[in-house]
Amino acid sequence: MAHGHAVKRYSGLMDWLTTVDHKKIGILYLIAGGFFFLVGGLEAILIRIQLWKPLNDFVSADTYNELLTMHGTTMIFLAAMPVIFALMNAIVPLQIGARDVAYPFVNAIGFWTFFFGAVLLNVSWFTGAAPDGGWTAYAPLSSTTFNGDHGFDYYVLGLQIAGIGTLVGGINFLVTIINMRAPGMTFMRMPMFTWSVFITSALILFAFPALTVGLAALMFDRVFDANFFDPSGGGNAVLWEHIFWIFGHPEVYILILPAFGVISEVVSTFSRKRLFGYSSMVFATILIGFLGFMVWAHHMFTTGLGPVANGLFSIATMLIAVPTGIKIFNWLFTLWGGSIKFTTANLFAVGFIPTFVMGGVTGVMLAAAPADFQYHDSYFVVAHFHYVIVGGLVLGLFSGLHYWWPKMFGRVLNEGLGKLTFWTFFIGFHLTFFVQHFLGLMGMPRRIWTYLDGLGFNEMNLISTIGALLMGLGTIFFLLNIVVTAFKPKNAANDPWEDGRTLEWTISSPAPEYNFKQTPLVRGYDAYWKEKMDGHTEMTPAEPLGSIHMPSPSILPLFMSIGLFITGLGLMYSHGEWGKIAGIEAGYVVGGIGLIITFTCMIIRSLVDDHGFHIEPEELQDKGVKA
């Protein structure tokens, strides 16, 4: 734009509510995701306390069902996804040398819809009807016939709203990575974390619409008496399982791929070596993403699909072990002969590798359809998916958070406390879940409230509960670390690990709001490392110093999401609970008001052009070294 516009800039709370800065949105995602991680963790601890001895009655059977459903749903959708989005937002634009994401405004919408969807889902605790049919919401357990209260209404509408946020977030990162890379940053020079985020975003793009349809159909069944999954109306309960897993299997790769990316970065940095087999890593990531859509029915081997389908999905599932194996060996070869520094981040990364291999091996065991008939719905499955999700994703996220904390907050986390976090969490994790393999093989079914004495389950359940408490302790150490670090001076160097290889380490910690004063020129893979090897201390700029255009902050994303929240709440209570207004169900009236709020915000956004504002070169000089 040729002319500047005076733009209102907020401070304090309003700054956070209106921000469109991807780094701040990343922090918001981290706070919200971290909060729900604690909530889900608390639910897990309660589950383990209930199971520590046979015939325990610490919680009632109904509460137990609610706890296990909400634990799974919360951890997958409200904790893991947002923390992944936190790292994506905080790091990806910096890694590709971009000043911003492609759609800063949409990015804010993504966060707020996630947040209000998550809140809506958890409101169910306070209205006395949390969903209680498992995180997979299998019909007919989730139908009004067997679940007459509002529990699954909260599930369906909460996840639908949160899903919108995830989908637009995925599109945002795809476009950012395709269109906004710095000059010279070709696809095959992109850091591995950016690659994994690229593929994850593509999986979000193609998997979430299936969930949208599934949730909409289940909502129609529950709210408008449709017959999709209701056999008495001609519906098909297995159809829900298909649709759920057509989304659900890609979803677990959406979760794990970013962890793969984090591990690749951390292992390479702290071995002071180029990532071994970079191109094969890229290829393996793409292949895992592709195959992720071809294996959903391995969750349904025991529904009776028949030998042909079971055989096909069995083989397709085992195929995934090949690209995953490539990755494991590449990490090992990266470590091989490197000058390894065991920082906390690297400890988590190195701990990740064998743990994830164990989860992968049980995955191949489960992929064998005939054997799966034995493992199905037993604690063996619980052990398997906790090994890949906690032992894989959560260790990866801890690694990434310790690694990039200085870039996000300008302070390096305390290494002593970090190592304490690692060891308590790591040992606690294996104590909790390793024994569960054997519990499963001995026949303990999953999703049971309690078990009888004398089945041989007692000791291992006790060990498992002790492990869970240790994991809780590890999390407390991490929180303690955050608090302790927050009181230290904000003095992290640009490249606090001194071995940074990628572009985010060339700018101050935390990054200034415009990220790069001058867009860097990328001359090879591991752009910063290449400059270091050539004896330079910083990147060559690709442009002269000029004024930088920035998007304006906006409150609209918040209000759009509040509108959706109101709509969701209204739709649930549209069966006479709230009475009638002018002959129409009050629930529908409230729902309509919510939609009007959302659409009004959309129209305002469309009609009022956002000219943004400029940061002039003189200001850049002043701010040049601001930490």
Footprint of other proteins on this chain (CB under 8 A)? 1-3, 98-100, 102-103, 167, 171-172, 174-175, 178-183, 202, 205-210, 212-214, 216-217, 220-221, 224-228, 230, 233-236, 238-239, 242-243, 246, 293-294, 297, 304-306, 309, 519, 542-543, 546, 548-549, 603, 606-607, 609
What's the closest the beta carbon of residue 166 comes to other proteins, in angstroms? 11
Residue whose CB is less far from other proteins, 234 or 535: 234
Residue whose CB is less far from other proteins, 217 or 266: 217
Which residue, chain included where needed, has tokens 């999953």? 446
CA 219 from centroid of its chain's CA atoms = 24
Residue whose CB is less far from other proteins, 3 or 8: 3
Residue whose CB is less far from other proteins, 239 or 593: 239
Phi then psi for 141, rounded to 5 degrees?
A: -60, -35
Residue whose CB is less far from other proteins, 79 or 102: 102
Judge residue 370's burial from the number of C-beta atoms within 10 Å of its C-beta, 0-12 exposed, 13-18 middle, 19 or more buried: exposed
What's the closest the beta carbon of residue 203 comes to other proteins, in angstroms? 10
Which two tokens mark 329? 């060996």
Nearest alpha carbon to residue 416 among 485, 349, 492: 485
What's the closest the beta carbon of residue 51 comes to other proteins, in angstroms? 35
What's the closest the beta carbon of residue 419 comes to other proteins, in angstroms? 41
What's the closest the beta carbon of residue 214 comes to other proteins, in angstroms? 7
Judge residue 217's burial from the number of C-beta atoms within 10 Å of its C-beta, 0-12 exposed, 13-18 middle, 19 or more buried: buried
What's the closest the beta carbon of residue 317 comes to other proteins, in angstroms? 14
CA 253-254-259 angle, 5° bins: 85
- Give the largest Cα separation in the chain, rounded: 80
What's the closest the beta carbon of residue 152 comes to other proteins, in angstroms? 17
Which residue, chain included where needed, has tokens 């390479």? 268
Residue whose CB is less far from other proteins, 227 or 280: 227
Pairwise CA distance, residues 540 & 545, whole Å: 12
Residue whose CB is less far from other proteins, 297 or 420: 297
What's the closest the beta carbon of residue 447 comes to other proteins, in angstroms? 25
What's the closest the beta carbon of residue 220 comes to other proteins, in angstroms? 6
Residue whose CB is less far from other proteins, 124 or 310: 310
What's the closest the beta carbon of residue 551 comes to other proteins, in angstroms? 8
The C-alpha torsion from 172 through 176 and 177 to 178, rounded to 10°, is: 100
Residue whose CB is less far from other proteins, 83 or 550: 550
Which two tokens mark 68? 């296990």
Residue whose CB is less far from other proteins, 34 or 235: 235
Is the distance from CB of 58 to CB of 464 less than 8 angstroms?
A: no
DSSP codes joined into one string, 109-158: HHHHHHHHHHHHHHHTTTTT----STTTT-TTTTSTTT--SSHHHHHHHH
Q: Is 167 helix (H, G, I), strand (E, B) or coil?
A: helix
Pairwise CA distance, residues 46 & 70, whole Å: 12
Nearest alpha carbon to residue 432 among 11, 14, 51: 51
For 98, residues 6+ apart whose C-beta sits below 8 A from its C-beta are: 176, 180, 181, 182, 515, 516
Residue whose CB is less far from other proteins, 609 or 622: 609
- DSSP state for residue 78 in the 8-state scheme: I
Phi then psi for 581, rounded to 5 degrees?
A: -120, 120
What's the closest the beta carbon of residue 523 comes to other proteins, in angstroms? 16
What's the closest the beta carbon of residue 222 comes to other proteins, in angstroms? 12
Phi then psi for 410, rounded to 5 degrees?
A: 80, 10
Residue whose CB is less far from other proteins, 304 or 583: 304
Pairwise CA distance, residues 175 & 549, whole Å: 19
For 437, residues 6+ apart whose C-beta sits below 8 A from its C-beta are: 362, 379, 380, 383, 384
